[in-house]
Chain A
């Protein structure tokens, strides 16, 4: 076993980041119809050519990929085939009467009274859940519920086209010993420090234990200049999700003096035409640090400015 480096030059907590992605999901015909029928309190299933019915409806069999021949209306009653409790909520698998499959949903009963094979019936939500499957609040025990039947789906609702959806994930990233010191130096001293490549004097930014190119251990720490040279750039003149500032501005890859690697940052511009004239690979730039209290982030450098000759 090998223990990873565990020196403690840094005193920063972990770095919080969030990935929040908007999606437009396409449910397709079967799920789209099922969801569109939720406000109508009808459970839609799929019937296959061999007569098998599954619910909720699917455009393809999850087992063999067969396509259904029709959408049908499944009954609201069935049996419980498995159950558990997570975070206080009882979740079980339900097989609706006349259906060949099971599906997960909330079970509206205490865990300790449940057993496999019990009759259950759907309970509809009192509130407006729209076109979500949660319009079915869950399944309650219904020992005397008569056997339900699958029937034709009369006048099905138009399937939903797309569904707006979002997913958000939160992370607490470790800085590690190298990024840790780099951000410490940015915050405490307002300087950008890297580590020397394994076979030269130029510094790698961000710093790391192992030189990417040689895969040898990197060298000693080195403060890079507050000035540098543009090595790649693009004038951004459109709004895109996740932008940190309002366009137009220049996205630039800048090699700080004394460094060997490019640092990504931005250059403020007054107008597109003068930016096209002045900003290009080879242009010399200077870091403009934020006026406020430094946070130990790359954004402590507010922007870069062109050094007028």
Chain B
């Protein structure tokens, strides 16, 4: 028995803002869940299951999805929560449809990091309490050391990282999905406050609020509903050891493993993609992802990062809705592939990446094709 292929039918996203202080989680969630059906011909009645992604710690309540079920459209439906980045929620949904038990799934990811007074405490909750928390080790320290090692190993410096960050913010501003008061240039990135030397504040991804919803279905349904169904042809996940200091320096092996897994299923390598939408917790983190995907050799991530095919949306550096970022990347890649393009140069293949944990411990890679 062959398993059905799974495609993306539609997506909906709120604007990504530093603070959605006029809306609750449920306001953001119900906005995208209402909107995602527009133009598809489907309604909530057609949805077999709902998978949502978010963080109880960020939400400030335990099993927070229980309070969001109504907004999710999950009343008396099969619903499951993934306490991981939204790309894992999509992975769960794809597998449910491929397994044959369902035809249409609704995937939702959301984030309101603005409600946490000190976002470093959220990250601190992820590290070990006996040896790591008391000495001040957390997300920022890990990203700083990751960057210090990368700079030293590959002869790049803050100016290179700043140029990448400025490029990403400019792209995000052009895309219009991200609330941006002023686009920082390289000098402004370098001049922003020190976050974790050698990284400045703007070299670390900016937490933002927002929600994203996505309808997935079997290929035959997607082909009848969507304008140009984009098929998810490969998926892979892998994770680093929790002990940051025990990970290999200057590489994210788990990205390479996840990419190999996804590429083997798709039958092509991520380096052959026309479009790449990748997540990252810092500018150096993005370079490590691009190298892990095979888009660049070791230490050459910057070359790939400056290519027009990588993070046209701006990526995660200007807008990182923690726990939703990977699903936003998938939605952005879908948009880039499904918009009508003329000619033989239209993008046909995308590679998408999501990440989670301290210093990008967990990684997930999708391949998407039209």
Contact = CB atoms under 8 A, between A and B. Distances in A.
A3 B31 contact: yes
Contact of A213 (B22, B75, B112): B75
A116 B134 CA distance: 23
Interface stretch (A69-77, A99-107, A285-293): A99-107
Nearest to A14: B21
B63 interface: no
A217 B30 CA distance: 10
Interface in B96-151: 112, 114-118, 121-122, 125, 129-132, 134-138, 140-141, 143-145, 147-149
B223 interface: no
Interface in A129-143: 132-134, 138
Contacts of A220: none
B13 A2 contact: yes
A14 B20 CA distance: 11
B241 A62 contact: yes
A104 B141 contact: yes
A244 interface: no
Contacts of A173: 24, 60, 115
Contacts of B141: 84, 86, 91, 104
B70 interface: yes
Contacts, number: 191
A140 to B, nearest CB: 15
B12 interface: yes
Nearest to A56: B131
A170 B35 CA distance: 32
A16 to B, nearest CB: 8
Interface stretch (B242-250, B271-279, B285-293, B348-356): B242-250
Contacts of B115: 14, 171-174
A63 B60 contact: no
Secondary structure of the B side of the interface? mixed
Interface stretch (A150-158, A204-212, A270-278): A204-212
A105 B135 contact: yes
Interface size, A (range): 35 or more
Interface in A43-77: 56, 62-63
B109 to A, nearest CB: 15
Interface string B138-177: 1011011101110010000000000000000000000011
A4 B28 contact: yes
Q: Which of B24, B132, B136 has the most CB of A within 10 A?
A: B24
B26 A101 contact: no
A213 B44 CA distance: 11
A6 interface: yes
Contacts of A172: 114-115, 117
A196 to B, nearest CB: 15
Contacts of A209: 26-27, 30-31
A85 B197 CA distance: 5
A93 B249 CA distance: 12
B23 A91 contact: no
Contacts of B132: 104
Given A17-B60, A174-B21, A82 B177 contact: no
B70 A212 contact: yes
Secondary structure of the A side of the interface? mixed
B69 interface: yes
A251 interface: no
Interface in A76-93: 81-87, 89, 91-93
Interface string A5-38: 1101000001001010000010100010011000
B148 A82 contact: yes
B21 A62 contact: no
B302 to A, nearest CB: 20
Nearest to B146: A82
Contact of B26 (A105, A165, A169, A208): A208
A1 interface: yes
A172 B114 CA distance: 8
A212 B24 contact: no
B148 A174 contact: no
A59 B353 CA distance: 34
A171 B116 contact: yes
A6 B31 CA distance: 11
Q: Which of A19, A35, A93 has the most CB of B within 10 A?
A: A93
Interface stretch (A175-183, A184-192, A227-235, A295-303): A175-183
A14 B114 CA distance: 11
Contacts of B241: 62-63
B130 A6 contact: no
B11 to A, nearest CB: 10
Contact of B243 (A5, A62, A92, A179): A62
A215 interface: yes
A92 B145 contact: yes
Contact of A84 (B32, B33, B73, B144): B144
A103 B245 contact: yes
A263 interface: no
A81 B248 CA distance: 12
Nearest to B209: A174
B14 interface: yes
B282 to A, nearest CB: 11
Q: Which of A102, A167, A172, A212 has the most CB of B within 10 A?
A: A212
B26 A176 contact: yes
10 contacts: A82-B145, A82-B148, A83-B145, A102-B246, A104-B135, A104-B245, A167-B121, A176-B23, A215-B44, A215-B75
Instruction: List the 9 closest pairs (A to B, CB-CB), nearest first.
Output: A212-B70, A84-B144, A176-B24, A62-B243, A171-B60, A4-B31, A102-B245, A104-B137, A82-B145
Given A84-B198, A133-B134, A211-B70, 11 more contacts: A1-B12, A5-B31, A17-B60, A34-B130, A82-B249, A86-B196, A104-B132, A104-B245, A172-B117, A174-B22, A212-B69
Interface of B: 12-15, 20-24, 26-28, 30-35, 44, 57, 60-61, 69-71, 73, 75, 112, 114-118, 121-122, 125, 129-132, 134-138, 140-141, 143-145, 147-149, 152, 176-177, 194-199, 211, 241-246, 249
